[in-house]
Amino acid sequence: MIYEYFFQQRFSKIRLYEIAARKILNVEEDDPEWIVKNNYLKLAKKYHPDINKGSEDLFKDINTAYSILTKKDFDIEGVKFLTISSQELSQIEQESSVRKPKEKNYYDFWKNRFF
């Protein structure tokens, strides 16, 4: 019983952090890994501390988000987003529970055509 409780807590935390990571990288749940990598590289170039002074925390969050989405055995216990507060995390979770219809864009066209 206790093990199931901790497993459920861990699973909900993983799910919440995945949602936050997808919001940071601006990707959808069903986007392939190449779109995640492409968005990561764009944001990493834009907010790198050598280029954009004062964006160290955001750059660390971008790296954390990419690690969460790409590594299957990522340890979620030590993760903390520096630019997102716990209140914003709960708001993100509420927004994700209400599914909005997905807008069509360039990536959807090619994803549906080839994948």
How many CA atoms within 13 Å lie on the side-chain side of 102? 12
Distance from the Cα of residue 54 to its chain's centroid: 22
What are the chain's domains? Answer: 2-84 (1.10.287)
pLDDT band at 108 (very low <50, low <70, confident <90, very high): low
Read off the pLDDT of residues 10-55 as tens digits, 9 standing for 90 and up: 777 788 888 889 989 999 888 889 999 999 999 999 999 999 888 8
Identify the residue with better confidence: 72 or 106: 72
The pLDDT score that the predictor gives to residue 44 is 94
Dihedral sign, Cα of residue 106, residue 32, residue 26, residue 49? negative
- Which residues have CB under 8 Å from 3's CB, separation 6+? none
Nearest of 12, 28, 111, 114 to residue 69 by alpha carbon = 28
Q: What does the alpha-carbon distance between residue 60 and residue 35 come to, in Å, rounded to a whole number?
A: 20
Identify the residue with better confidence: 115 or 109: 109
The pLDDT score that the predictor gives to residue 62 is 93
Write the single-letter amino acid at 13.
K
